[in-house]
Amino acid sequence: MPAKLNHPLAGELSYTEYDWWEGTMKFPELEDFRAKYNFDMDGIPEDVDDDDDDPDEHDPIELTVPVADGAHPSPAQEAALRRLFSDREALAAEVVVGLVKTFRSYMAGMMSGYEEARIVASKEGIAKLNLDSPSSMKIMVDLSSVTILSNQRDGEAYMAFDFHCAWDFEHGTSLLMHKGKFIVGSSGADFGGREDLEGHIESLLEYVVE
C-alpha cells in the first residue's frame, strides 16, 4: 500500500490511518471569505478573537479523498477532482449560493438540538448586522476542508465543503456539491462515511429555505 501519491492535480497526498488520501490545497476564489463574527449562546454577534500573526493569511485548506486499502481515487472521484481544480470561479459562485441557503435554513430552525430562543436571538443579531446576503458570507465563514466523497452519481463523486462559520462556531457547516451545483447543507462533517447518502439528502431537503 503506497503511503504517498503524487496526484497530477492535487499534488502530494498522504494515505492516513483513517482510510483516505490527505493533502492541502488553495482556493483563491474564496480567500477573502474570512469569519469576523461568532454568535454567542444568546445569538449575539461578537468579534472573532484572531491571534494569528497575519490575520489576512489563510491556513491551508485540507483536501481528503476517502478510499479503501490505499487504492487510487476512483474514476468518479477523479472526475470531481478535475472539476475542483479546473472550474473554480463557477464552483465558488455556487458555493456562495449554498452558504446563503444553508444559513437561512439554519436560522429557520433546520438544525435540531438548538433552543428556539437562541435561533430567535440570532435572528435579531443578524438583522442588526445586515448579514442575510451573499456578500455577507465573506465575514461569516472560513473554508477549512474539501472532501471528495466515495459516493457518486452519474459518474462523478459528491464533494463536501466544510467551513468554520459564525452561526455555529462549535460544529461549523458543510455544503454538499455535485457536478458543480449545490445540493444541500448541514452541520459540519455531516456527509462523509454515509452509505445511504441519497436518503440523507432527501431528509435534509425538507428543511431547505430558498
**Domain ranges within the chain, ordered by starting residue:** 29-49+58-65+75-205
Paired strand residues for 47: 37
pLDDT tens digits along 69-79: 889 999 999 99
Average pLDDT over residues 41-69: 69
Q: pLDDT digit string (tens) for 68-122?
A: 988 999 999 999 999 999 989 999 999 999 998 888 787 776 544 444 444 444 5
pLDDT at 42 over 70: no
One-letter amino acid of 181 = K
